[in-house]
Structure 1
Amino acid sequence: MKTIHSNSVKHQIGLLMLGATIVFTLAGCEKKPEAKIEQNTALETEQNEITPILQAKVENVPVTLPECNGQLCPKISLQHLKSNYPKIDQAVDQYLLNYVKDLVQGFDIDSNGNADKNTNSNANNTAKAKETASPIVEMSEQKNAHSNLQSDVELANPQQDYSELQGYVNKFIKLADEVKSLGSSAQLSLYVKPQVLNPKGPITTVVMNASNYIGGAHGSSAQQYLNFELDSNSLLSLDQIIQNGQRKAFNDLAYAAFEQWIKETQPDMDLKTYQQLWKFTLSENFYLSSNGLILQYGEYDIGPYAVGLPRLVIPYDKLQGILKPQYLPVVADAAVEAGKDKIAQTSTAQINTKTTEK
């Protein structure tokens, strides 16, 4: 009997120890997901630190528009960015200000609704100067315009004052009233909206889409790319992404792209005849797309109104050694490597063919 009782006690103790082991094991299993979550959070934080991201919302610009009813009321839609990078927000605001200012200053209307003759005279002189400007001069003007945008952004107050923009919007509204008083049925319009193309760094691009109609046969539109390097918190110019001493090589590629564009869009016209009408100029408005570097042009820059907003595309495989390596997208490197592999395979096949023939 004692032996049986002893065995029973041992059996009970064994069961208790087994139960405790199971409890501790289960308790340990419950804690593992918490550790995993912490590891994932740490990994996500590390990835966000490595790859900066532009977090932006498109909002209406805080300007006051008058109440207006009827089909002849001007259509005005002005939008800008609110993001975690104030400097690119300021660049967007600066472009918007410049666009509206340039639009109304040629048709400056005073408080009585009369056109300012001096302003119109200055606008005519500017137009004549552009007609006779050489391509180099036009290139300098575009380059200086981009530099001015950069300097304006550097000096801009983070708390943007929209009173100047409000003044130009008021002039546009007065222009619409003047057109209406002359008996015109034209409905004037003004539209500016930013669009974020690639929010992830190291380079994010915001394209400014703008259009207007101030009477006449047709309206006008424009596209401006703002390339922003998140790490350095600065706008990039074309010169900044080209290697030292390679600007001429880049210009030659741009001119070759221009000739190719003429062949594709004007197949019935020879190159010489076309360039007598529309000379080549180099745009500083660029975008690093997945297909290559795009040079964006405005209306009447390198072609008639019918061609819209022309763009020249330079493939990345031709820009190796010309653009700085950090500004060549990964897809470009992959394409170049694939091209090298294809050339190597072709060479090997040719050698094998010659050996077989022998």
Structure 2
Amino acid sequence: MKITHTILLISLLSLSPLLSGAAPVGVCYGRVAADLPPPASVIGLLNSNGISRIRLFNPDPAALAPFSGTGIELTIGVPNEILPTLANGTVAASLDWLQSNIFSHIAPSQLRYLAVGNEVLQKDPFYTPFIVPAILNIHQALQILGLNDIVRVSSSHAATILSNSYPPSTGAFHDDVKPVLIPLLQFLRDTNSPLMVNIYPFFTYVENEHEHVTLEYATFRSSEVEMDEGLAYGNMFDSAVDAFVYAMEREGFEGIPVVVTETGWPTGGGDGGSAENAFAYNGNVVRRALGDVGTPKRPGVGVEVFLFDLFDEDGKTGTEYEKHFGIFGIDGNKAYDIRFN
């Protein structure tokens, strides 16, 4: 596909979230479900609710093409199973993959992030050696297109890559992920790209991983704070984000932004899953992002987030909770009265 948009236009569009004065809020568009609305009709739902950023977990043409020309910014996942091909191939092969799978469907101005692999470290370890080589090839392909300063490249990770997370000042990465994670952090620092993490205080609460995580603390409704090195933490979200900040600093990497590529709360599935709790958690995540509240470690620096999920996904395996994260029903009605702007 011939890139016809000027770099100036793309640059201005890519800066729009910075100029708005608020951290961007997006929504994950998972599609592991039967009877979802047609992707084309989803665009109207997004526009009517002020949702201007979407995360797609893979560049499925049926889901991707309807976004063309809508102005909705996209974060697109590079599937784990593609990583060996991209890592072992040439830069030209990565360029062809980008052109064929992404830029043949949308303009470069709509692509904000490429998330190369999702929760590979520890959860899908076969693909671990391919993360950084695939990222480097994709980045060089973007350089050829003149997009390397426009499209940021990273990889999305589960919170379990931390060996310690509480209190947040003890945040540290597992030793076995460091051989891959350190080169990744070097790349992120060199390219001004964020560390992408998936954070779910809900699962910390229901699995009782920490005695201090009450329902109120997990859903921003606690009247008490936890003190850590002079910083006051009133909720689990801030604590989890700052644990990653401390972990990066522990390895000598300061100033790398954290983008939360997944977070959310289910409306059902068992204890703790309810529309009331989902509204409390997700509503506060959105308000704090739009208000640039930041975290105790980085006050006033809003955390860019993607809420999970646009719809319930009844095709998900695992716990019953995982089928009930939808913010909207398939009829387009909200599960609770959350606002995005």
TM above 0.5, one fold? no
Q: TM-score, normalised by structure 2?
A: 0.25
> Which one has a larger percent helix, Structure 1 or Structure 2?
1
Q: TM-score, normalised by structure 1?
A: 0.24
Higher relative contact order (CA 8 A, sep 6+): 2
